[in-house]
Amino acid sequence: PTGMPQLQLPQEPLAGILNKARVMENGKKVTKKWSTSFVVLTGSNLVFYKDQKAMQMKQGSPGGKCEFIVSLPTAIVELNPKDFSSRKNVVMISYPENQVLIQHDDERKIMEWFTKLKLKLEEVGAP
Ligand code: I3S
């Protein structure tokens, strides 16, 4: 309907396919290798699945079939970090002993992720 104000509901979980590359794992710098993940922002976690099917097969336990989970209360995010990638639209997520880059060619998409991650970090009292 025209002229009707759209009610803005909180969009949680936020989920979608992103490019990701881990650059540090368990305290060790690792060779950067980009691949896609189905990423879900839910509760105070950011959960990486191989694809949407893997998320649906999680069998009740949160993140049962995930690749890895970022606990957001311990995380910081940075938009377009210097010296980590030549790609545009990158967000680096750092948490103890680990760093991962997420990227999307659509700037609006990555800005949505960055904005919502920032809001979530404030909400959960990240460092
Ligand atoms: O930091 P680097 O080495 O420039 O990162 C690139 C590599 O990970 C490269 O893999 P190979 O070294 O196997 O070719 C990736 O294909 C590139 O995408 C990486 O650079 P970007 O700037 O895309 O993060």
Give the ipTM. Answer: 0.85
CA–CA distance, 50 with 68 (Å, rounded to integer): 10
Give me the chain's average pLDDT, please: 90
Q: Which residue's alpha carbon is nearest to atom 15 within ligand 1?
A: 33
Answer whether 88 contacts ligand 1 (Cβ < 6 A): no
12 pLDDT band, cuts 50/70/90, is low
pTM given for the model: 0.86
Answer whether 58 contacts ligand 1 (Cβ < 6 A): no
CA–CA distance, 34 with 32 (Å, rounded to integer): 7
pLDDT tens for each residue of 41-95 = 999 999 999 999 888 876 555 545 899 999 999 999 999 999 999 999 999 999 9
pLDDT at 3 over 80: no
In angstroms, how far is CA 77 from the centroid of its own chain? 10
Q: Which residue's alpha carbon is nearest to atom 13 within ligand 1?
A: 33
Gap from CA of 92 to ligand 1 centroid (Å): 15
Lowest mean pLDDT among 4-8, 58-62, 84-88, 101-105: 58-62
120 pLDDT band, cuts 50/70/90, is very high
Tokens representing 56? 């649906």
Answer whether 103 contacts ligand 1 (Cβ < 6 A): no
Cα end-to-end span (Å), the chain: 44
CA–CA distance, 117 with 109 (Å, rounded to integer): 12
